[in-house]
Amino acid sequence: MQILDGRAVSAHIKEQIKTEVATIKQNGGKTPHLAAILVGNNPASEAYVGNKVKTCQELGFGSTLLRFDTDITEDFLLAEVQNLNDNQDIDGILVQLPLPKHISENAVINAIHPNKDVDGFHPISQGKMLLGQDTFLPATPYGILLMLAHYNIDITGKHCVVIGRSNIVGSPMSVLLARNTNPGNATVTLTHSRTQDLKSFTLQADVIIAAIGKARFLTGDMVKEGAIIIDVGINRIDDATRKSGSRLVGDVDFDSVAPKSSYITPVPKGVGPMTICGLMKNTLKASQIKH
Ligand code: GUN
């Protein structure tokens, strides 16, 4: 069993980006600039956005964080997105999800200019991805592809079972794994909460991508010997042995699954840091396309 070390891989990729940005600046080019919008004070969202802004600073990117109260109107938020679309200094825009219930996430995502859609959530980005055209790939699936490539894990012809069909992870992941690209060319089964006898699918899987948002959902009895396990989940559970009274676990029950796996991502320090890499690579790309 080998741990897929997201922290180490992301450090390697971030070094490459940092060097590229330094060269761009030396040559008088424009500094890539990411704008992030955070609505409300969901602790998990605050942590994710904080990490993204911090990484921008590490890599020499510019960053702008716009914070708004939970009770802002949808029209107000749409106007703020439009301001960022019109601002020539801003290369990439991300609106941290989830948004409060009274604001339509679709309306907000659709309002982001596709050239600045570094999260890859806009219908144009997702449509281009489906057709295999060059675009911004959604950050988490992109980060997982970067990780597979880094470890030279060949999934050609392999059976990949994706658990979860969200617009952000499961659905785009299933498309990307099946594309005629490298990494890609896998045979993909997309499973979800209504799948009957999920275990019969996971037991056949050479690769499992767990993105269902349920703590330690995938257990050792559900995987075959030698499977590659990618854990996208970030769930906080009670743990009286910790000072904080809680800890983070993935969608995979690491202790029972790891001994059967050939490769496995831990939580934390697995997919999480790779998502940030995907976002940073997209922001650099947005800036380079524009300038
Ligand atoms: N919420 C959970 N994951 C993500 C992500 O990758 N991007 C944004 N904007 N919101 C998220």
> Which CATH number belongs to the domain containing residue 162 in this structure?
3.40.50.720
Query: Is residue 108 assigned to a domain?
Result: yes
Q: Is 290 a catalytic residue?
A: no
Same domain, 106 and 155: no
In the set 14, 91, 96, 158, the catalytic residue is 96
Is the pLDDT at 291 greater than 80? The verdict is: no
C-alpha 275 to ligand 1 mean position (Å): 9
In the set 5, 91, 117, 119, the catalytic residue is 119
Rounded distance, CA 51 to CA 45, Å? Answer: 10
**Residue 98: which pLDDT band, with cuts at 50, 70 and 90?**
very high
Reported as a single tens digit per residue, the pLDDT across 227-279 is 999 999 999 999 999 999 999 999 999 999 999 999 999 999 999 999 999 99
Same domain, 62 and 155: no
The number of folded domains in the chain is 2
Is the pLDDT at 137 greater than 80? The verdict is: yes
Domain of residue 67, CATH code:
3.40.50.10860
- Please give all residues whose beta carbon lies within 6 A of any atom in ligand 1, as ranges: 94-97, 119, 139-140, 168, 275
Mean pLDDT of 113-121: 98
Query: Is residue 286 assigned to a domain?
Result: no
Going by the DSSP 8-state scheme, the letter that residue 102 receives in this structure is: T
**Residue 167: which pLDDT band, with cuts at 50, 70 and 90?**
very high
Predicted confidence at residue 88, as pLDDT, reads 97
Same domain, 178 and 236: yes
Rounded distance, CA 71 to CA 78, Å? Answer: 14
Query: Is residue 254 assigned to a domain?
Result: yes
Predicted confidence at residue 148, as pLDDT, reads 98
End-to-end CA distance of the chain: 44
Predicted confidence at residue 290, as pLDDT, reads 80
Smallest CA separation from ligand 1 atom 3, residue: 97
Reported as a single tens digit per residue, the pLDDT across 170-203 is 999 999 999 999 999 999 999 999 999 999 999 9
Same domain, 70 and 165: no
| Contact status, residue 280 vs residue 55, Cβ threshold 8 Å | yes
Query: Is residue 54 assigned to a domain?
Result: yes
C-alpha 221 to ligand 1 mean position (Å): 31
Helix or strand (DSSP H, E) at 117: none
**Residue 39: which pLDDT band, with cuts at 50, 70 and 90?**
very high
Q: Is 116 a catalytic residue?
A: no
Same domain, 108 and 144: no
| Contact status, residue 74 vs residue 44, Cβ threshold 8 Å | no
The residue segments making up the domain with residue 72 are: 27-114
Mean pLDDT of the chain: 97
Q: Is 119 a catalytic residue?
A: yes
Same domain, 219 and 266: yes
Rounded distance, CA 288 to CA 99, Å? Answer: 30
Rounded distance, CA 275 to CA 291, Å? Answer: 25
- Kindly give the number of the ligand 1 atom that is closest to the alpha carbon of 119: 7
C-alpha 97 to ligand 1 mean position (Å): 5
Mean pLDDT of 77-101: 98
Rounded distance, CA 74 to CA 89, Å? Answer: 24
Query: Is residue 278 assigned to a domain?
Result: no
Same domain, 87 and 186: no
Query: Is residue 239 assigned to a domain?
Result: yes
Query: Is residue 92 assigned to a domain?
Result: yes
